[in-house]
Amino acid sequence: MKKKAKWLAGAAAAGAAGAVLEYLLARYFTRRTLIRGNAKTERTQKMAGTDWSVYIPMIQEARAKIEQNPCEDVFVTAEDGVKLHGRYFPCKGSDRVALCFHGYTGEGLSDYACMAEHYYEQGFSLMCVDERAHGKSEGTYIGFGCLDRHDAEQWIKYLIERNGENCEILLHGVSMGGATVLMTSGLDLPKQVKAIISDCAFTSAWDVFSSVLKTTYHLPAFPLMHLSDQMARRKAGYGLRECNALDEVKKSHVPTLFIHGDRDTFVPCSMVYELYEACAAPKELLIVEGASHAESYYKDPEKYWTAVKSWIDRYFETRQDKERKEEQE
């Protein structure tokens, strides 16, 4: 009996120690991932596997060019009181606007510098926002689309107030921004939102974190994800699978172009097939060969922009169309 009691006591102690270790790992993972300042761009880029050094000169040149255009700093207030920042690049005489959402640890123009000129050529103003807890936007906890989709509603409202009831809005998101626009798509959006472009979006924060744990840290999702989910609910105000882009696109009526690189291991390419199949709105899918995470535009800019332009031409009225409609009225 004494031996059995000692064995049980040892097992209990080992179990308690294991539980403490699991808790500490989940706390470390959650704090490092969700809290502003702890999430580092360099670490994210390393895990994503994209060699950005190849593209940095092109991005810097494009950014310098776009920043020569008129630009305004704009602030709106989120539903929970967080002040959000965006940079607005107006296209004179146009009521088309591209509302752009960057990826995790990015900001404003970070994913759109090279695309900005294309949008100008198509007569689009650009609103490049800093998602909450990024750039000049306030917030302690990163929203992973769950919080950001309601922030997107505030930006849409602002753009309609600024540009009038006849404005036409395109939502474009990359990575976490892609998940944001897909999660937004399931909301009751105004008629001014004409189309969506989602580039390398994940299905949910839970899914992408589970994938990172497996591929990068070689750890199982259980129990770390369950503990992290509880911590996120307590601290950040949302659960890691509370808002799932898969569920939201099932409710969407907004035409959506899905883009993904077939060598994306950070947000597995399999996720875009799930999202595409689930989407109830008019949709198209572009898979860019050889592109890793968030690399699709840079890997094949002609193919990427041809698909985007085709999507714009399909769902946005030309100036001639509007003039003809006004004459008929």
According to DSSP, the β-strands at 256-261 and 283-288 are parallel
Q: Using CA atoms of 291, 292, 297, 303 in order, give the dihedral in degrees to the nearest 10.
A: 20
Backbone angles phi, psi at 289, to 5 degrees: -70, 135
Residues paired with 197 in a beta bridge: 172, 257
Task: Tell me the pTM.
Answer: 0.91
According to DSSP, the β-strands at 124-130 and 168-174 are unpaired
Listed in sequence order, the residues at least 6 apart from 253 whose beta carbon sits closer than 8 Å to its beta carbon are 280, 281
Listed in sequence order, the residues at least 6 apart from 181 whose beta carbon sits closer than 8 Å to its beta carbon are 101, 152, 171, 172, 173, 196, 197, 198, 201
Residue 219 has what pLDDT?
84
Query: Which two three-digit tokens encode residue 250?
Result: 């099932």
* Cα gap 281→278, rounded to integer Å: 9
* Cα gap 148→132, rounded to integer Å: 7
* Cα gap 279→284, rounded to integer Å: 10
Residue 12 has what pLDDT?
38
* Cα gap 63→145, rounded to integer Å: 25
Residue 328 has what pLDDT?
55
Q: Report H helices in the chain.
A: 2-34, 41-48, 56-66, 113-121, 148-163, 176-185, 205-215, 224-235, 245-249, 270-278, 296-299, 301-315, 319-328
Residue 320 has what pLDDT?
52
Output helix, strand, coil percentages for the chain, rounded to the nearest 5.
Answer: 50, 15, 35
Give the sheet arrangement for strand 193-199, strand by strand: 72-77, 83-89, 124-130, 96-101, 168-174, 193-199, 256-261, 283-288
C-alpha closest to that of 305 among 256, 259, 254, 268: 259
How far the first Cα of the chain sits from its last, in Å, is 93
Question: 276 and 301 in contact (C-beta within 8 Å)?
Answer: no
Residue 16 has what pLDDT?
45
Residue 18 has what pLDDT?
53
- What stretches in the chain show pLDDT beneath 50? 4-17, 323
Around Cβ 218, how many Cβ atoms within 10 Å?
A: 7
* Cα gap 240→234, rounded to integer Å: 11
Q: Which helix (H) or strand (E) holds 99?
A: strand 96-101
